Amino acid sequence: MQQPEADSEIEEEHLLNFVVNSLDEELAIDLGDDVKVTTETLYEVLAGASAGGTSINHVCETTGDSPHANTVRGHLTEQF
């Protein structure tokens, strides 16, 4: 009986989750209590722009549930 071969492809979603979780663990962002966007969302937009070789604007415009690009840039600028 043959053993099934492991799937060697990394799914895009798994890679994004790994990057976002790693960033969240190593570079925690204090957004305050009244902020509606999450750290995870900020890192998803940032990782998506980086991986796609595009801009934060493009990711925010083409992803339905992303916050406005100015919101993302504003929070990242404040923290870093």
Long-range contacts for 41-44 (Cβ within 8 Å, ≥24 apart)? Answer: 41/66, 41/67, 42/72, 42/75, 42/76, 43/19, 44/16, 44/20
Q: Mean pLDDT throughout 14-29?
A: 90
What are the tens digits of pLDDT across the range 24-78? 999 888 888 888 899 999 999 999 999 889 999 999 999 988 999 999 999 999 8
pTM: predicted TM-score of the whole model, two decimal places: 0.79
